[in-house]
Amino acid sequence: MNYRHSFHAGNSADVVKHSLLIRLVQALQQKPGALTLIDTHAGCGRYDLDGDDAHRTGEAMLGVWRVFDDTDPLLDDYRAAIRAVNAGPAPRIYPGSPRILSQLLRPQDALILNEKHPEDVRTLRGVMRDTPAAVHQRDAYELWLAMVPPRTARGVVVVDPPYEQTDERERITATIAAAHRKWAHGVTVVWYPLKDRATHARWKERLGRHGIPKLLTIEHWLYDDDQPGQYNGAGLFVVNPPYAFTQALPPLLASLRAVLAPEGHRGELLANWLGG
């Protein structure tokens, strides 16, 4: 599955990913110690919702635009992050994870971004020029292992690949296990698209063999049944999620499911411990 982000910016997957990422970082920041935030597949950092790519799919209409038409206060932090890069009341620019993470930084925190694509990394450097972020251009999986454990005692690694390579899931599985051996208490977030339930179940089974004790799976299935040949949703693996994050999840997931369910479908947004 090729997931080029300019075509999908602001869709339901972005809404879920960024809502949960904001809540996760906020939970970690309840303690005053410094955090290092690492984004291995940073992309361009900002996307034009009025551009040709976004208009070709129209997916933002079923994602960020729905949230802006809604008033649920549990989604206020997400809306605030989008408003921060838009001059008007309606979202025309969509911030990628790098811009959202930069908004969350405290003076003691650090942000490390990586993007291998030559054109995208040039754009990313321009977009992040007014932030303290360090921008690298390296292989994402090599950087992931090289950067952990970070210099600060605590940190978060965000892994958000386009799934262009046929071995993407295998590289994630191997690297998440290797990173956990180096940094057992570290927090890692892996985003993934959902093609069908059977394929995802097999991936979870492979991950489960590595014995990572605290691995939370969050799955957002858009449709009540798999739709063959379609994008069926997306989710996150979260290694070592903080307690404050897991406690806040049930009402937030309920709010996201309600606002994002396609017409005629109830949808599912579930959180479970891998192997539990």
**Residues catalogued as catalytic:** 160
What is the DSSP secondary structure assignment for residue 59, as one 8-state letter? Answer: G
- Dist CA 209 CA 180 (whole Å): 13
Angle of CA points 37, 160, 111, to nearest 5°: 15
CB atoms within 10 A of CB 16: 26
Q: How many residues would you count in the chain?
A: 276
Give the helix ranges, DSSP H, for the chain. 5-8, 12-28, 52-57, 64-68, 76-83, 97-104, 118-127, 140-146, 168-182, 197-208, 243-260
- Dist CA 60 CA 39 (whole Å): 23
- Dist CA 52 CA 71 (whole Å): 29
- Strand-pair partners of 37: 111, 156
